[in-house]
Amino acid sequence: MKLPPQPKGLPISGHFKYFRTDPIQFMLNTADTYEDIALFKLFNKKIYFINHPDYIEHVLQKNYKNYHKSPGYKPIQLLGGMGIFTTDGEEWLRRRKFYQPAFTNSSIQSYTSTVVDNSNIMLGDWDKQANKGQKVNVSMEMTKITMSIISETLFSLRIEFGTELWENTSYALSWLGKRVLKTPFVMPVKWPSKQNRKFHAAIASLDKLVYDIISSKEEKNENPEDLLSRFMNPEDEKLKPFTAKELRDEVMTIFIAGHETSANVLAWAFYKLASLPDIQEKVYQEVSALGDKELKFEDMHDLPYTIQVLSETMRMYPPVWHMGRMNLEEDEIGGYVIPKGSHVRLSPLALHRSKNYWDDPHTFNPDRFETEKAKQQTPFTYIPFGAGPRLCAGRNFAMMEMVLILAKTIRQYKLSYSGPEVEMAPLMTLRSKGDIFLDISQR
């Protein structure tokens, strides 16, 4: 059987060591050299790595029924159980229906005031830090604000954000990130290594948070319209209600999926703006043209350049930087037979940085998302929110939240960064290697 070209690897373990040491560079290099399709080997397991928009459209959209989430997603079940992210077929569809009412345009519009209020609290805190001449840790600040927003909008609850919550979430996601990349060649999760014990402790404390969220909702429900209420009492009578375990899994999934991704994009966007003063100035000009009034949902129409900055940030730093699927039946991609049960992997990061589809792909240039230019993009070359039926359920929520936080912050503060280029870290999502600290000064 004809196989796709393979990067050089070791005789027995194949490319395992690259997945362990520098998976980001390995995927970028492979995409650069082999372009459309390549084969990775982890010992005797083959992974088909696709990087052509037609193949991506085929797997995520045209033939999606033949592609379930790959075994690489199994480790995510240690955190989110069998939630919407890791289920397939009928079970996935049932879950997706629970989400729909909370993500309509009017629901998203109703969340705007929570985003604005939380931004004002954060910017007030930054005032104190600026007065003392302290740098701001934007990685932590963005996690804090996005966690608050997700809990207040979707669960109608305020949560206490402390160092422990931040450390536990970061540890769990970094542990899982490594495991997803190396599956199926991972130590059993029950192995009592120091890292495994730390992971279990982090999950136990996140579990406690999720169960506290659920029980406080059961005791007092101040908002029967929010997502958690809809999870507990679906309006659609035909929907089979969640069991207690299903509810826990879904709340954990949305708590993590709903903050970690947007927090990363915002931290990268602030880092880029702080490093590129001309682009920051253009955002400032755009938002200051709206005056001092409080921003509303409708103002997003007048912030096209701010949206372009976020789109460009997600091109260069897509939080979901790789995805995996497994085919139920034999298939053919690019002239190669893909045997039933194969692992197929794709990387929005590699695709978004492909020289075949993007001019000067490693340069941050929001102008490429200017309306007329964006129309000329080849379909399926820009997929930060995925594609096809499994497209991100929270994409419009995320855009609203990110645009308002970015615009409000730049209206009030000038950001600057002096230091070495920040590198990418392959956690579950694409974070920075180390937290990003920026200098801020009041405008």
Cα of 102 vs its chain's centroid, Å: 19
- Select the residue interacting with ligand HEM from 42, 265, 273, 440 (CB under 6 A): 265
Q: Which of 431, 177, 420 is nearest to 317 (CA)?
A: 431
Residue number with the shortest CB distance to ligand HEM? Answer: 394
Tokens 């959209």, residue located: 61
CA gap 66, 338 in Å, rounded: 12
User: Which C-beta is closer to ligand HEM: that of 130 or that of 398?
Assistant: 398
Interface of this chain with ligand HEM, residues 71 to 130, rule: CB under 6 A: 84-85, 96, 99
Q: How far is the CB of 83 from ligand HEM (least distance, A)?
A: 8
Residue 323 in the binding site for ligand HEM (CB under 6 A): yes
- The dihedrals phi and psi of 161, each to the nearest 5 degrees, come to -95, 115
**Nearer Cβ to ligand HEM (228/323):** 323
261 belongs to the binding site for ligand HEM (CB under 6 A): yes
Q: Which of residues 127-166 bind ligand HEM (CB under 6 A)?
A: none
Q: At 243, list the tokens.
A: 């069991």
Decide whether 168 or 429 has the Cβ nearer to ligand HEM.
429
Among 258, 361, 366, 426, binds ligand HEM (CB under 6 A): 258
Size of the site for ligand HEM (CB under 6 A): 23
User: Minimum distance from CB of 256 to ligand HEM (Å)?
Assistant: 9
Nearer to ligand HEM, 14 or 319 (CB): 319
Stretch of residues binding ligand HEM (CB under 6 A), selected from 126-134, 200-208, 360-368, 389-397: 389-397
Binder among 140, 257, 303, 307 for ligand HEM (CB under 6 A): 257
Residue from 385, 412, 413, 422 in contact with ligand HEM (CB under 6 A): 385
Nearer to ligand HEM by C-beta: 4 or 386?
A: 386
Given candidates 386, 404, 410, 412, which one binds ligand HEM under the rule CB under 6 A?
386
CB of 392 to ligand HEM, least distance (A): 3
Q: Least distance to ligand HEM from the beta carbon of 347, Å?
A: 11
Q: Longest Cα pair distance anywhere in the chain, in angstroms?
A: 67
Task: Tell me, rounded to whole angstroms, the distance of Cα 271 from its chain centroid.
Answer: 17
99 vs 336, which CB is nearer to ligand HEM?
Answer: 99
307 scored as a contact of ligand HEM (CB under 6 A): no
Q: Which of residues 390-409 bind ligand HEM (CB under 6 A)?
A: 390, 392-394, 397-398
Q: Please give the C-alpha separations between residue 394 and each of 156, 158, 256, in angstroms, as whole numbers.
A: 17, 20, 12
Task: Name the one range near ligand HEM by CB under 6 A: 211-219, 276-284, 388-396, 412-420.
Answer: 388-396
Torsion angle, alpha carbons of 421, 422, 425, 427, to 10: -160
Handedness of CA 326, 332, 338, 340 (dihedral sign): positive
Least distance from ligand HEM to the Cβ atom of residue 326, Å: 12
Q: Which residues fall within 8 angstroms of residue 310, CB to CB, at 6 or more apart?
A: 265, 269, 399, 402, 403, 406
> What minimum distance in Å lies between the beta carbon of 420 and ligand HEM?
26
Give the residues lining the site for ligand HEM (CB under 6 A). Answer: 84-85, 96, 99, 254, 257-258, 261-262, 265, 314, 319-320, 323, 384-386, 390, 392-394, 397-398
